[in-house]
C-alpha cells in the first residue's frame, strides 16, 4: 500500500526505529574530543574494577579497604552518569550544561573525601564537623538526581521518602511508627555506616558480581552471540507450526538470561521477531505479547538469570548455585506454558512455519558459532562443580570467550570491538550502580527504624494466621510496590519490606524470597505500567492495552506458580528425589492442560465447560500434592476424552464434505 509516496513497510520501519532510539539512546551522543573523553573514562572504570576483582588492589603493595574501593568506583560512576545522562529527555544531546558539572562535583567530592579519610575513621559512627554534614547532604542530593535521570521519577520518589522517613518515623502512626533519628544522625548513617550506608555491601554487588557479568554479556554481544542465538533458534523452530513465535522462546531464553532487562531484551530481539510473527499471520497484539512475555522470562532461566539472582543469593547468604538449581523447574514450566499457547494459537489460525529455504541451515549456523556455548559451559562448571565465586567464574568465562572469539574472523574481538564492549558495560553499570546506592539507603532506613518488622507484623495480623490470605496480601503489596520498577530494584524493595512477613508467617526465607522474586517480574507484563508489553506493542504497531491483557494471559503461570511452591517447595528442588520427580511430571501435564484451557483449543476448539474443567484440573495438577493431583485428573480426563471424540468426529465430517465436493467437481 502507498501512503504519501511511501510504502507502509517503510513507514512502520521508521516507527520501529523511533521506538528503538527512544529506549536505547537515553545517553548523550558525543563526537570528537568529548567522545574520546568518554572512552577514556569507560576504560578507567572497567580497568579499575577488573584490577580489584583480579587482586591487584588487595596486595601488600597496593591495598584498598572494601569501602574505599566502593567509594572510588562510585565516584567514577558519578562522572560517567552526569556526562552521559541529560537533565531531561528533551535536553540537547551534544553539550553539557554547567549545572551537570555541579551535580557531578556534589557526588564525586564526598566519594573522594571518604576514600582518603576512611583508613583513619574505621569504626567511627558520627560525622565530625559541619563540613562532613555538608558533604553527606551533597552526596544524597547527587545520588537522588542521578537516580531520577537513570531510573525515573517512581524510584526517585521512593528514595526521597526513605531518606526522610527516619527523621519523621517517631511521629508516624500504626506500623509506620519507628525509632526516630535527628537529621544529622540520619545522614551520618547514610554516609559512614557500612551496614546501612551508601558505601555498603549492596554497592559492592554492583561493582563486583554485576559488573563482571555485564562485561561477559557485552563481550558476547560484540562477538555476534545475539545474532548467532537468533539464527540458531530460526534454524531449529522457524519451519514448524507458528515457527517464528517459537523462535522467540529459544532466542530469548538464550539471550534474556544475560541481559537482566525485559525491556532491553524486547528491543534487542523484538525488532527481528515481531515482524516475522506478523508476516506469519499472528495478530499484532499477540506477536507483541509473545515477545514481552518471553523477554520477561529470560530472567528466570539459569545459569545467569539476569543479575537479580545474585542479589537474592546475597540477601539469603547462600551460594548462587542453589538459586540457579531451584529455578530450573519453574523456568521450564513458564516457557512450556508459553510454547503451547503459541502452538494452540497457530493451530486455531492455520499458521504454518516459514519455508526452510528462507531459514538458516542448522549445521551451518552451529558451525559458525558453536564455540560461543563454551564460555557458558565454563561458567556453569565453575559455578556448580568447582563452587567458585560468581566473580571468578564469570572472569574465567570472559577470558575463555576472548580467546575463543579468534576461532572465526567474524567473531574476533578486535581492539575496536573490545572498546565497544567496554563502553557498553560502562553504560550498563550506570543504572545498576546508582540503583544499588539508592537501595542501600532504603535498606538502611528500614533497618534503623524497624519498619520491616512493623510492616511484616501488620500483614501477619491482617491475615489472621491464614497462609493463603497472607500470600494474597503479600502478592498485592508486591504488585503495588513493584509497579514500574526494574526487576532488581523491585526485588530489593520487596525483600526488605514484604519478605519478612512471609517468614514471620512460617514460610522459609528461601521460598519467601523466590515468591517475591517471581512477583517482582509481574509488573513487566501486567497493567497499568507493563513496560515490556508497552514497548513490544509499539514495535508491533498494536493496541497497548490489548497487548497488555494478552501478555497477562500468556504469562499467567508467572502469577500462580509462586503460590504453589510455597505450599510444596518440591517445584524448587526442595525435598526428596521422588517428590521432586512426581511434582515435576504432574506440573508439566497440568501446565499443558492449563495452556489449552486459556487458549480454548486442544485437538480442536474446546467448549466452555471443557475449558473450565481443564482449567481447574490443570491448576490442581500443577499444585504439588498427590490429593489435589488426583482430583485434577478427575477434572481433566473426562473433558479431554470427550473433546477428543468430538474433534475426531468433526475431522471425519470435514473430510467427508471435502471428498463429496471433489467428487461433484469431477
Predicted local distance difference test score (pLDDT) of residue 111 = 93
Which residue reads 482449567 in cell numbers?
615
Rounded Cα–Cα distance for residues 45 and 52 (Å): 11
3-state class of 3 per DSSP?
A: strand
Rounded Cα–Cα distance for residues 327 and 657 (Å): 50
Predicted local distance difference test score (pLDDT) of residue 4 = 31
Rounded Cα–Cα distance for residues 287 and 345 (Å): 11
If one counts every other C-beta atom within 10 angstroms of the C-beta of residue 120, the result is 7
Cell of 61: 603493595
Name 455's bridge partners.
none
Report how far apart, in Å, the C-alpha atoms of 619 and of each of 507, 556, 586, 597, 622 are: 22, 11, 10, 10, 5
Predicted local distance difference test score (pLDDT) of residue 195 = 60
- Torsion 347-349-355-356 (CA) sign: negative
Name 2's bridge partners.
7
CB 397 within 8 A of CB 379: yes
* Mean pLDDT of each 10-residue bin along the chain, 666 residues long: 35 50 64 88 94 84 86 94 86 80 95 88 73 90 92 85 88 77 82 72 84 87 80 81 79 64 75 82 90 86 75 83 89 91 89 79 84 85 80 88 87 89 90 86 82 77 84 85 74 84 88 90 81 86 88 90 88 88 91 92 89 92 84 92 88 72 67
Q: Which residues contact 331 (CB under 8 A, 6 or more apart)?
A: 297, 300, 301, 302
Q: What is the CA radius of gyration of the chain?
A: 26
Predicted structure pTM score? 0.81
Predicted local distance difference test score (pLDDT) of residue 129 = 80
Give backbone dihedrals phi and psi of 507, rounded to 5 degrees, phi first. -95, 140
Rounded Cα–Cα distance for residues 381 and 397 (Å): 10
Amino acid at each position: 500500500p502507498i501512503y504519501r509516496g511511501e510504502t507502509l513497510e517503510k513507514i512502520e520501519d521508521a516507527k520501529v526505529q523511533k521506538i528503538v532510539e527512544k529506549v536505547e539512546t537515553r545517553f548523550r551522543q558525543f563526537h570528537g574530543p568529548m567522545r574520546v573523553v568518554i572512552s577514556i573514562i569507560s576504560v578507567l572504570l572497567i580497568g579499575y574494577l577488573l584490577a580489584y576483582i583480579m587482586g591487584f588492589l588487595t596486595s601488600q603493595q597496593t591495598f584498598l579497604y572494601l569501602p574505599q574501593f566502593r567509594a572510588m568506583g562510585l565516584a567514577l560512576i558519578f562522572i560517567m552518569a552526569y556526562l552521559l545522562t541529560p537533565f531531561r529527555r528533551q535536553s540537547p544531546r551534544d553539550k553539557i550544561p554547567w549545572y551537570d558539572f555541579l551535580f557531578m562535583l556534589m557526588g564525586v567530592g564526598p566519594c573522594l573525601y571518604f576514600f582518603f579519610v576512611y583508613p583513619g575513621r574505621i569504626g567511627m559512627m558520627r560525622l565530625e564537623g559541619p563540613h562532613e554534614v555538608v558533604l553527606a547532604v551533597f552526596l544524597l542530593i547527587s545520588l537522588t538526581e542521578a537516580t531520577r535521570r537513570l531510573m525515573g521519577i517512581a524510584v526517585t520518589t521512593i528514595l526521597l521518602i526513605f531518606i526522610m522517613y527516619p527523621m519523621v518515623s517517631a511521629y508516624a502512626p500504626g506500623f509506620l511508627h519507628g525509632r526516630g533519628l535527628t537529621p544529622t544522625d540520619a545522614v551520618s548513617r547514610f554516609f559512614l555506616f557500612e551496614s546501612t550506608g551508601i558505601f555498603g555491601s549492596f554497592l559492592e554487588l554492583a561493582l563486583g558480581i554485576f559488573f563482571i557479568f555485564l562485561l561477559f554479556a557485552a563481550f558476547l554481544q560484540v562477538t555476534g552471540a545475539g545474532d548467532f542465538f537468533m539464527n540458531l533458534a530460526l534454524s531449529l523452530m522457524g519451519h514448524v507450526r507458528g515457527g517464528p513465535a517459537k523462535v522467540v522462546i529459544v532466542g530469548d531464553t538464550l539471550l534474556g538470561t544475560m541481559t537482566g532487562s525485559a525491556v532491553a531484551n524486547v528491543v534487542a530481539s523484538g525488532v527481528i521477531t515481531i515482524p516475522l510473527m506478523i508476516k506469519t499471520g499472528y495478530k499484532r497484539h499477540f506477536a507483541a505479547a509473545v515477545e514481552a512475555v518471553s523477554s520477561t522470562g529470560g530472567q528466570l532461566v539459569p545459569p545467569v538469570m539476569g543479575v537479580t539472582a545474585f542479589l537474592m543469593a546475597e540477601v539469603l547468604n547462600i551460594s548462587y548455585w542453589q538459586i540457579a538449581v531451584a529455578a530450573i523447574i519453574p523456568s521450564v514450566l513458564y516457557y512450556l506454558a508459553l510454547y503451547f499457547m503459541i502452538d494452540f494459537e497457530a493451530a486455531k489460525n492455520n499458521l504454518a512455519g516459514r519455508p526452510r529455504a528462507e531459514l538458516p541451515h542448522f549445521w551451518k549456523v552451529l558451525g559458525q558459532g558453536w564455540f560461543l556455548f563454551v564460555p557458558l559451559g565454563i561458567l556453569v562448571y565453575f559455578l556448580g562443580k568447582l563452587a567458585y565465586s560468581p566473580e571468578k567464574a564469570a572472569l574465567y568465562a570472559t577470558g575463555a570467550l576472548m580467546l575463543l572469539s579468534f576461532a572465526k574472523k567474524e567473531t574476533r574481538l578486535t581492539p575496536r570491538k573490545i572498546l565497544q564492549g567496554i563502553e557498553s558495560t560502562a553504560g550498563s553499570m550506570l543504572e545498576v550502580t546508582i540503583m544499588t546506592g539508592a537501595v542501600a539507603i532504603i535498606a538502611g532506613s528500614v533497618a534503623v527504624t524497624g519498619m520491616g518488622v512493623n510492616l511484616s507484623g501488620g500483614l501477619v495480623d491482617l491475615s489472621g494466621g491464614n497462609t493463603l490470605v497472607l500470600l494474597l496480601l503479600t502478592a498485592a503489596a508486591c504488585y503495588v510496590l513493584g509497579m514500574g520498577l526494574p526487576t532488581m530494584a523491585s526485588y530489593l524493595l520487596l525483600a526488605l519490606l514484604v519478605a519478612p512477613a512471609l517468614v514471620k508467617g512460617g514460610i522459609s526465607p528461601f521460598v519467601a524470597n523466590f515468591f517475591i522474586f517471581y512477583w517482582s517480574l509481574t509488573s513487566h507484563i501486567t497493567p497499568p505500567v507493563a513496560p515490556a508489553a508497552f514497548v513490544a506493542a509499539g514495535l508491533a504497531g498494536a493496541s497497548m492495552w490489548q497487548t497488555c491483557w494478552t501478555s497477562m494471559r500468556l504469562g499467567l503461570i508467572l502469577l500462580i506458580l509462586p503460590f504453589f511452591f510455597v505450599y510444596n517447595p518440591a517445584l524448587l528442588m526442595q525435598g526428596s528425589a521422588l517428590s521432586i520427580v512426581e511434582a515435576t511430571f504432574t506440573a508439566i501435564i497440568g501446565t499443558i492442560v492449563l495452556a489449552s484451557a486459556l487458549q480454548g483449543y486442544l485437538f480442536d476448539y474446546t467448549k466452555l465447560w471443557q475449558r473450565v474443567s481443564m482449567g481447574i484440573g490443570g491448576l490442581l495438577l500443577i499444585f504439588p500434592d498427590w490429593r489435589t493431583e488426583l482430583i485434577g485428573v478427575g477434572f481433566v480426563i473426562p473433558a479431554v476424552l470427550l473433546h477428543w471424540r468430538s474433534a475426531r468426529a468433526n475431522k471425519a465430517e470435514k473430510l467427508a464434505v471435502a471428498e463429496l465436493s471433489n467428487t461433484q467437481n469431477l
